A and B are shown apart, each in its own frame.
Chain A
Amino acid sequence: DVKVTQSSRYLVKRTGEKVFLECVQDMDHENMFWYRQDPGLGLRLIYFSYDVKMKEKGDIPEGYSVSREKKERFSLILESASTNQTSMYLCASSETGTGRRNEQFFGPGTRLTVL
């Protein structure tokens, strides 16, 4: 079974802090994704990566950056956390290819609160 893990289930930070959210997958997947999920807005893609050291902006990249130094690990960075970044953050991974290889597998999520 594919396993995607996220470093924290719950996180509370103060405005202006630098925040790191870590995601690790154990299936050698090429693609990794960061989403945020908010009531009424659904899931929105922040950034994704299709290879080590590669990154692409999603729909809402402002205020975030990412790092992928190793294939299995994809980090989301909030350079200066703000209250409007309070949200559920979800990481996912998938293979590259056709058919079922495109299936995305999600981690358990990190509930971030910025005070």
Chain B
Amino acid sequence: KQEVTQIPAALSVPEGENLVLNCSFTDSAIYNLQWFRQDPGKGLTSLLLIQSSQREQTSGRLNASLDKSSGRSTLYIAASQPGDSATYLCAVKGYSTLTFGKGTMLLVSP
């Protein structure tokens, strides 16, 4: 059964820092990997989707990489801002459904 782990569970950084969030998964037979953002008490917002054949995807200050063979993905956030404070979740898609990690709670202080 697929397991998804996110490290660290929580991260606190000052504004302006570049940071990396990590996601690992146990079964490399995936179709894609999706990164989401969740604000407290709200639903999930899709940030990036990387197909299994891709190595990375970029959207603005966000860059996500995928190394399927080693079961790892990273989400790089450049020049962090207080508005980036949220929980970030990664999810991998197997044959039909997504398996989620428990998330990294990010706090960016001014």
Contact = CB atoms under 8 A, between A and B. Distances in A.
A100 B43 contact: no
B5 to A, nearest CB: 11
Contacts of A42: 89, 100-103
Interface stretch (A11-19, A68-76, A79-87, A101-109): A101-109
A106 B44 contact: yes
A108 B42 contact: yes
Contacts, number: 53
Interface residues of A, number: 26
B42 A102 contact: no
Interface size class of B (residues with CB under 8 A): 20 to 34
B76 interface: no
B29 interface: no
A18 B102 CA distance: 30
B49 interface: yes
A74 to B, nearest CB: 15
A61 interface: no
Given A104-B98, A106-B36, 12 more contacts: A33-B97, A42-B102, A48-B97, A56-B96, A98-B31, A100-B49, A102-B93, A103-B46, A103-B49, A104-B46, A105-B46, A108-B42
Interface of B: 31-32, 34, 36, 41-46, 49, 51, 89, 91, 93, 96-98, 100-103
